[in-house]
Structure 1
Amino acid sequence: MTSALPLQTFRPSPPASAVSATDLVALARSKATDDRERLLYGIAAMCDSLPPGQEASPILTEVFMTLARQAERDIRKSLSESLATATWAPVALVHMLALDEIEIARPLIANSPLLKDADLIRILIEATIEHQIEVARRPTLSSTVSDAIIDRGEPATLTALASNRTADISEDGLHRLVDHARRIAALRAPLTRHPRLNDALASELYAWVGQALRQAISERFRVDEAFMQRAVNEATAAAHPAGTTAASVVDDGYSEREKMERRLIDKLQGAGQLRPGFLVRAIREKKLSLFENGMAALIGVPVTTIRTAVAAANPDSLFLACTAAGIDRAVFPAVLEEIRKLTGGSPGHTAEARWSMLTINAASAAKEFKATVSA
């Protein structure tokens, strides 16, 4: 096997113009492995000599791609390392090498400025778990890619993302990571140290970590130890509901589980973190009661009002409530479908439904919803 050429040969000391077209034609006619490698690096030198912002010709790019596909593993690895920070490289070549085996792909996934969000998401979908982890570790990862990683829910990739201090993770995304920490123990330590962890999320995370991490949370945040211990007890009760009986329903008509949900919503709302994305996630996770209580808190109506809208003959009232809470109309059909799966078909499908024809802002939707339910 031919050994990889040293990196400095990729940007040779003689000027690139010294690589003549005649030499390249002669190398292209040769079948010798060494000549094919010299041709590959000769074309690379030509590309490297282009003025900033100028792209190589399509024919030159295609020749470069063909040679790279035929190159041995060590050559592809050396090429990947050399192109890791290049802005002039053929984009198709970078995409190809980023989907190659992980040792070849790693430098490009970690550094290439030519890999955009859509390319990184493609790697998450098409490549191996090792490639996905490398995407999650990429410096200054965008919130779009972070959300895609969180949506996939792969434990190893989530843990890599939680450990990436430069990744842009939205408040909703961080909340979802904390929620994943209930089942993924490896997430808990990096989340405890995460620079964007706040009081509300620390309180939620406290319930799922061991004693050492609880101490770390207590040292970093001002916490009410008694309150935290109650949260641990509640989490334990929720995780072991086998002993739940009718007696667990308290006098005000709410189950202990729902009371815990209401306390969580109160904490989030008090911290300014109760947002539409939380409601959408609750439905995706089949937590209808959490959705209803969160919706009621965001709009400022009793939860029974939301449940009336959920059980209605058509989705109009629920659409108004979702719009008032800030859920985008483009997301509403998916939310409606999930709710119907959880309720056995409610809200109904009457012909009088007009929600799909409504164009209304959040404030007007809130006013109309309250007027509708009070009528």
Structure 2
Amino acid sequence: MVLVQLVPTARPEAGSPSAGDLLALARDASPDARQRLLLGVAALCDASPPSGELSPVLGEIFLTLARQAEREVRKALSEKLAHADWAPVALVNVLALDEIEIARPVLTSSPILQDDDLLRIMIEASIEHQIAIARRPQISGRVADAVIERGEPAVLTALATNRTADLSVDSVRRLVEHSRRIAALRAPLTRHPRLTEALAEQMYHWVGTALRQSITARFNVDDRVLGDAVYDAVEGVLRQARPDENAQDDPDRDEMERRLIDKLQSAGQLRAGFLIRAIREKRLSLFVHGLAALGGFAADDVREALAAPTPEALYYACAAVNIDRAVFPTLLAELRKLNQSLPGEGGEPIWLRGALSSNSAARAFRVLIADNHREFKAAV
């Protein structure tokens, strides 16, 4: 088989096949001749673009030959037609739905593809096709909004890196909201030219230290004020009446503290240090929900560990969220003061055995709680 390599030249007409060459290829029914004919016709049209709309007959010839061509030829054709404004619409759409290596050149560059074409391809094709569309220069607000509506993390990230996309303020706001759960969005959004100061302040609460520095440098934001803002609600809770005036088992208060923990976690501000602080402020319910959220545990399982005859399960839960084992004995003593001397003092002090990775500790906690459940069922 002979593959034709398409190499741009300073004078396209010099590489164009003659009418006699194309006629000879047209009379040859072999697959190789069909592929050479396809590329030859494309080269001829590129050298002398058809005036007006491409003849329907010529378009049908292109489409028929392309369907018969092998993968490498279709790929070469896609690269050849990527910037051609004379290319047959049907052919470009067929190539755009081909495998991604073939489709990418026309998806990212072809002037033939209109919004309706791109929206249809987003529905029918793969994630890789959607990423190529999201990276397309000057995509319209209509297409950008469709990308945001679908909410695919990799596609959203590609859109966030596209500085030429027609994004409205509301579109950027929706991307910022997505960046709460999609960390890959944060870096490109902090550098995006359409990010406003208000949206940057919103993002500040859930990005890392390096991106916070980028935001403060770009918008001259007061780092100290923003860093403290998320804790305002926490301080409001901790400054309220002491536990002896508001019972720990108050369901309304428990729900309020659970929502507070959810808010801190979604803002990326929930840390192990907060749990220690909650106990010092005698907020046992806040500790329970915070430990459950940080460790990915059920709150009832944390309560079970607090009511256990030994502190083993509680130690594993605390180790899973990176509470230092040297701190645990003091934390345990404070917890017992708030929790009717529970967990009990049975068993050996396992925190003296040595360090434990957070993953291992989380697994040990779940296994121990599951064993307790099985023992309870057996007893019943």
Shorter-chain TM range is: 0.5 to 0.7
Q: Give the drift of 1:226.
A: 4.3
AA partner of residue 105 (structure 2): P
Describe the shift of the 1:24–1:107 C-alpha distance in structure 2 as closer, same or farther (beyond 3 A). Answer: same
Q: Which residue of 1 aligns with 2:147?
A: 149
The CA deviation string for residues 225-251 of structure 1, in whole angstroms up to 9 with x for no partner, is: 3441244337999xxxxx99523899x
Distance 2:181 2:150 in 1: 15
Q: Which residue of 2 aligns with 1:13?
A: 14
Distance 1:212 1:232 in 2: 18
Q: Give the drift of 1:182.
A: 0.7
Distance 2:118 2:229 in 1: 38
AA partner of residue 13 (structure 1): A
TM-score by length of 1: 0.59
AA partner of residue 161 (structure 2): S
Q: Give the drift of 1:72.
A: 0.9
Q: Give the drift of 1:127.
A: 1.1
Q: Which residue of 1 aligns with 2:219?
A: 221
Q: Which residue of 1 aligns with 2:88?
A: 90
Is the CA contact (8 Å cut-off) linking 2:6 and 2:76 kept in structure 1?
yes
> Is 1:246 paired with 2:252?
yes
Q: Which residue of 2 aligns with 1:193?
A: 191
Q: Give the drift of 1:12.
A: 4.9
Distance 1:46 1:244 in 2: 81
Q: Which runs of 5+ in 1 are unaligned?
A: 238-242, 261-375
- Residue identity over aligned pairs, in percent, reads 57
Is the CA contact (8 Å cut-off) linking 2:31 and 2:68 kept in structure 1?
no
Is the CA contact (8 Å cut-off) linking 1:98 and 1:106 kept in structure 2?
yes
Alignment of 1:275-314 (within 5 A): none
> Is 1:122 paired with 2:128?
no
Describe the shift of the 1:50–1:93 C-alpha distance in structure 2 as closer, same or farther (beyond 3 A). Answer: same
SS in 2 for 1:209: coil
RMSD of aligned residue pairs (Cα, Å)? 3.2
Describe the shift of the 1:78–1:117 C-alpha distance in structure 2 as closer, same or farther (beyond 3 A). Answer: same
AA partner of residue 103 (structure 1): E
Q: Give the drift of 1:24.
A: 4.2
Is the CA contact (8 Å cut-off) linking 2:93 and 2:117 kept in structure 1?
yes
Match of 1:184 among 170, 182, 185: 182
Match of 1:47 among 24, 45, 61: 45
- Larger Rg, first or second structure (1 or 2): 2
Describe the shift of the 1:245–1:185 C-alpha distance in structure 2 as closer, same or farther (beyond 3 A). Answer: farther
Distance 2:63 2:53 in 1: 14
The CA deviation string for residues 285-317 of structure 1, in whole angstroms up to 9 with x for no partner, is: xxxxxxxxxxxxxxxxxxxxxxxxxxxxxxxxx
Is the CA contact (8 Å cut-off) linking 2:75 and 2:101 kept in structure 1?
yes
Distance 1:6 1:128 in 2: 27
The CA deviation string for residues 108-144 of structure 1, in whole angstroms up to 9 with x for no partner, is: 1111111111111122111111111111111112111
Q: Give the drift of 1:50.
A: 5.3
Q: Give the drift of 1:59.
A: 1.7
Alignment of 1:1-375 (within 5 A): 2-8=2-8, 11-13=12-14, 18-20=18-20, 24-48=22-46, 53-233=51-231, 246-247=252-253
Comparing 37-46 and 115-124, the one that deviates more: 37-46
Distance 1:114 1:120 in 2: 10
Q: Give the drift of 1:25.
A: 4.8
Is the CA contact (8 Å cut-off) linking 2:12 and 2:47 kept in structure 1?
no
AA partner of residue 14 (structure 2): S
Describe the shift of the 1:47–1:149 C-alpha distance in structure 2 as closer, same or farther (beyond 3 A). Answer: same
SS in 1 for 2:14: coil
The CA deviation string for residues 301-344 of structure 1, in whole angstroms up to 9 with x for no partner, is: xxxxxxxxxxxxxxxxxxxxxxxxxxxxxxxxxxxxxxxxxxxx
Q: Give the drift of 1:7.
A: 3.1
Is the CA contact (8 Å cut-off) linking 1:199 and 1:221 kept in structure 2?
yes
Report how many residues are paired. 247
Is the CA contact (8 Å cut-off) linking 2:190 and 2:200 kept in structure 1?
yes
Distance 2:39 2:192 in 1: 43
TM-score by length of 2: 0.58
Describe the shift of the 1:98–1:235 C-alpha distance in structure 2 as closer, same or farther (beyond 3 A). Answer: farther
Is the CA contact (8 Å cut-off) linking 1:206 and 1:232 kept in structure 2?
no
Distance 2:36 2:76 in 1: 13
AA partner of residue 253 (structure 2): A
Q: Which runs of 5+ in 2 are unaligned?
A: 236-248, 265-380
The CA deviation string for residues 28-48 of structure 1, in whole angstroms up to 9 with x for no partner, is: 332223321232133324534
SS in 1 for 2:230: helix
Comparing 66-75 and 216-225, the one that deviates more: 216-225
Distance 1:235 1:105 in 2: 51
AA partner of residue 246 (structure 1): D
Distance 1:63 1:52 in 2: 14
Q: Give the drift of 1:6.
A: 2.6
SS in 2 for 1:13: helix
Describe the shift of the 1:190–1:118 C-alpha distance in structure 2 as closer, same or farther (beyond 3 A). Answer: same
